[in-house]
Amino acid sequence: MAGQTVMICADNSKHSDYALDYYLKNIHREGKVVKVAHCPEYWKHNGPIEGPSPGRVQELIGETNAHTAALQEKINDMLKKANVAGEFLKLEGQEPWQQIVKTAEACNCSLIVIGTRGQGSIKRTLLGSTSDSVLHHTHIPVLICRHQ
């Protein structure tokens, strides 16, 4: 698999680095190209049902951009410590799974590594699961890492 591209997905959860950590410790081989993808979710917890005020929207965008910058720094540090050349990709879109699948295909990835929070089947059905959606909508092999 030398020279192939691997996409590793990261989110802003407290376990955002689990998939990358697992990949670096157990799978990575020299010559693989690593792309760590993150799709910020700007519209979570945004206020009343009629929507946030314009000022609150700007606050949310600023908070999300700050979280994304911190995540990028954390990911870059992990890659540097592991002596792995990699690229952080900030994806844009409302549905992270769609952006992950689209970008992985565009980058000609041979594997997608993604974490899961281990939600139960009822919660996953009601709220959706990015890892489930990626798994069911791509032709690229997917490795789902469940945090212990």
Find tokens 């314009």 and name the residue: 54
- As a whole-number percent, the residues of the chain with pLDDT over 70 amount to 82
For residue 90 the two structure tokens come to 């900030």
| Greater pLDDT, 132 or 123 | 132
What is the rounded distance in angstroms from the CA atom of residue 84 to the CA atom of residue 124? 33
- Tell me which residue has tokens 């959860």: 13
Residue 33 is predicted with a pLDDT of: 92
Query: pLDDT category, 109, cuts 50, 70, 90?
Result: very high
How sure is the predictor about 106, in pLDDT bands with cuts at 50, 70 and 90? very high
Q: Report the alpha-carbon distance of residue 146 to residue 135 in Å, rounded.
A: 14
> 124 pLDDT band (50/70/90 cuts)?
very low
Phi/psi of residue 36, nearest 5 degrees: -100, 115
Task: Give me the number of domains the chain comprises.
Answer: 1
What is the CATH classification number for the domain harbouring 106? 3.40.50.620
- How many C-alpha atoms does 132 have within 13 Å on its Cβ side? 12
pLDDT in tens, 23-80: 999 999 999 999 999 998 766 555 556 667 788 888 888 998 999 999 999 999 999 9
Q: Tell me which residue range forms the domain holding 55.
A: 5-146
- Rounded to a whole number, what is the distance in angstroms from the first to the last CA of the chain? 28
User: To which H or E segment does residue 91 belong?
Assistant: none
pTM for the complete prediction? Answer: 0.85
